[in-house]
Structure 1
Amino acid sequence: MYRPKSTVEQWRIFQAVVDYGGYAQAAEKLNKSQSSLNHAVAKLQQALGLSLLEVRGRKACLTPQGEVFLRRSRKLTQDVESLEHLADILSSGWEPVLRIVVEASLPRTPLYQALTAFRSQSRGCRIYLVETQPSGCQAVITQQAAHMVFASRAYPNITSLPLATTVYVPVCAPDHPLATLSGVAHTELEQQLELVLADGNEQEEGWARGEQRWIIHHLHDALSLLRRGVGFAWLPLDVVSPLLNDGVLVRINMANQALRKRFTHLVLPGTTPPGPAASLLLSLIRKYYDEQSQQADLS
C-alpha cells in the first residue's frame, strides 16, 4: 500500500509562505512559530528530494520545481476542503443525490426552471434525471427507486401532488396529406398512421386510437419522424408551439377543434418525508408549475 511522503498541512504551510512572501509573514498570519514553518517546509522538501523554496534576503522565492508543485498542491488542498465541506453537508441530512423520473410524454419546462434555480443552492447535490414510459414510472414507484416521479396519473396510497394540465394537439409535417385538409373528422385520423408516445400497454386515458400506429418511446424520435412526414401525433401544445411557429410542423384542422388533456402529477414514492434538498427542489417545482398555470389562465 502506498504511504504518502507529505501531509496536507505541509502543503498548506508551503502555500502560505509563498502567498505571504516569507516565513515570518506566514507565521504571523497562521499564528504559528516561524521555526515550525521552517521545519515543515524543510521536511517536505527532504521527503520529495526537491528544493521548492529558496530564501533571497528576507523573501522566500519559488524554484522552478516549486512553481509546478504550487499549482498542483492548490488543487490538493481545495479537494480536501471540498471533502470536509461535503462531510458537514451530509451530516446535516442534506441528500448527496436526488433521482427524478419523468414520463416521456409530459412537458417539463417548469421542471427545467426549478432545476436551474436549484443549482445555485444545491450544495453539491447531484441530480439524476431519467425519462421513462408509464410502465417504467409504475415500476420506479413500486420499488421506491426515485425521490420524485412526474407521471400522468396518481397512484393510490402514495403521496402525489397535481401540478398542471397539459393540452395535446394533433400535428403533422406540412407535406403530410392531413396538413391541407380542413374539418378533419376522427374517422379520417383513424385511417392515417399515428405515432403514439407510449409503451403500447395503456389506453391513454380513454383516447381513441386508430388501427395504424407506431409506438414511440422518446419524444425526440417522434418529432424526428414527424418532420420527415411520417404519420401524425398528439403532442403537448407547449412542446410543439415553436415548431408550429417556424412552420416545421402544422396543427391538423379538426372538425370540432377537439383537444386532449392530460394531468401532470408529482409522485413521492418514499415512505419517509423528503429531506432538505428534496424539500427545496419540491418548493421550486411547485413555484414554477404554479406560475405556468397562472400564465395559462391569463391567456
Structure 2
Amino acid sequence: MPYRPKTTIEQWRILQAVVDAGGYAQAADLLNKSQSSLNHAVAKLQSMLGVELLEVKGRKAFLTEAGEVMLRRSRMVTQQIEDLERLADTIDKGWEPEIRIAVELAYPKQYLYRALQTFYPQSRGSRVQIIDSVLTGTAEIIQEKRADLVITGQVPRGFLGEPLCITRFVPVIGSQHPIASQGKVELAELSQQLQIVIRDTAQKPQEQSGWLKSEQRWTVDNFYEAIEILQLGLGFCWLPDFSVQAGLHDGSLQLVDLASGGEKLAPMALLSPYEEQLGPGSRLLRQCILAAHTNEQSKEIACTINS
C-alpha cells in the first residue's frame, strides 16, 4: 500500500509559528487563529508522531531535543512546498506582473538605474519594487525568499551570487569636528567618539560587522541622515565612498586620517533566492544589471588603454 502521511503541512506550519513567535498566544495573533486551535493542532501532531516536540514553561513554549530535529526538517519540507507552489504560479502566469529587487544600501545604485533604463522598453508593464535593506536585513530577505533578485554584500551559506563590484567604506567626519585638524588618528581614539550607524533592517539585527565599537552611537535610517549629522560637526561614520563625494568636494566632510585600517571593502553580489522559480522578467532584469557592470568595466579598460 502507498504510504499515507500521519501529519499535515498545516500542522507543521503551526508548530513553526509557535516556536518563531515564542508561544501559543503570540502565534495565534500572528496567524489570526484561536489559541485553542493551535494547541489542538500541536497536540494532535505530537500524538500522531508519538514524540514530544514542545514543552511549556510558564507562558513560553520550548522545543525538546527531538523537537529541534523535527522542526529543522519540517522547515525544509514546507519550503519545498512553497517553492513548488511558486513554480506553478510562475508557469501559469508566464511573465510576472511584479518584480521585487532588494538592494543593499551600500550598493551604488547608478548601476541599477542604468539596468532599469535598459529593462523598461522590454518590461511588458511589469511593476518593479525596489526594497532598500541593510546588513543582516538583506540576508534575512534572502533566507525568507521575500524578493526575486537581491543585491547583497553578504552571501549567506547555501546561496551563490554573481559578483558585481566592491564598495569601499571610509571613515568620515564633518569639517567642524574637533579631530578634523588633528592629523593621524588611532582607531582606539576614534572609538571614543560618537559613532553614527545605519540601522540594520532585519527583524532581529545582529551586529556582526565589527565596526560598532563606540560606546556612544546614534542610529539613523540612511546615509543622507548620517551625512547631515556629520556636517554639523557631530560624530563619525563609516560610509561608502560614493555617498560622500559631494561633501568631500565642497569641504563639508573630510576623511578621518587613520593611523591604520583606513578603509573597509564590501564585495557586492547579485543572486536569486529561488533560482528555479525565477520568472522571465526577473531573468531579463538580472541580465541588464550584469550588463551594466560589464559595460562599466569595459569603459574603464578602454580608458586605461587610451591613457
Check whether the contact 2:151–2:268 (CA below 8 A) recurs between aligned residues: yes
* CA-to-aligned-CA distance 1:40-98 (integer Å, 9 cap, x gap): xxxxxxxxxxxxxxxxxxxxxxxxxxxxxxxxxxxxxxxxxxxxxxxxxx988222110
In structure 2, the CA distance between the partners of 1:108 and 1:209, relative to structure 1 (3 Å rule), is farther
Match of 2:251 among 232, 237, 247: 247
1:258 pairs with 2:259: no
Match of 1:276 among 280, 286, 294: 280
Check whether the contact 1:103–1:132 (CA below 8 A) recurs between aligned residues: yes
Distance in 1 (CA, whole Å) between partners of 2:94 and 2:176 is 56
Check whether the contact 2:103–2:151 (CA below 8 A) recurs between aligned residues: yes
AA in 1 matched with 2:215: E
Distance in 2 (CA, whole Å) between partners of 1:260 and 1:237 is 10
1:147 pairs with 2:148: yes
CA RMSD of aligned residues (A): 2.5
Check whether the contact 2:139–2:154 (CA below 8 A) recurs between aligned residues: no
Distance in 2 (CA, whole Å) between partners of 1:260 and 1:287 is 26
Check whether the contact 1:133–1:217 (CA below 8 A) recurs between aligned residues: no
Distance in 2 (CA, whole Å) between partners of 1:230 and 1:107 is 25
Which structure would you say has the larger Rg?
Answer: 1
CA apart distance, 1:166: 0.9
Distance in 2 (CA, whole Å) between partners of 1:218 and 1:210 is 19
Structure 2 regions of 5+ residues with no counterpart? 1-90
Distance in 2 (CA, whole Å) between partners of 1:92 and 1:128 is 18
* CA-to-aligned-CA distance 1:121-161 (integer Å, 9 cap, x gap): 21211110111233322332222111011111111222322
1:182 pairs with 2:193: no
In structure 2, the CA distance between the partners of 1:202 and 1:289, relative to structure 1 (3 Å rule), is farther
User: Counterpart of 1:172?
Assistant: 173
CA apart distance, 1:293: 4.8
Percent identity (aligned):
33
In structure 2, the CA distance between the partners of 1:110 and 1:211, relative to structure 1 (3 Å rule), is same
AA in 1 matched with 2:217: R
1:109 pairs with 2:110: yes
Classify the secondary structure of the residue corresponding to 1:114.
helix
TM-score by length of 1: 0.63
User: Counterpart of 1:202?
Assistant: 207
Alignment of 1:57-96 (within 5 A): 93-96=94-97
CA apart distance, 1:167: 0.8
TM-score by length of 2: 0.61
AA in 1 matched with 2:129: Y
Check whether the contact 2:104–2:138 (CA below 8 A) recurs between aligned residues: yes
Distance in 2 (CA, whole Å) between partners of 1:294 and 1:254 is 33
Classify the secondary structure of the residue corresponding to 1:98.
strand
AA in 2 matched with 1:288: A
* CA-to-aligned-CA distance 1:166-225 (integer Å, 9 cap, x gap): 111111111111221211111221111111224262221x44622222233322221222
AA in 2 matched with 1:192: Q
CA apart distance, 1:271: 4.3
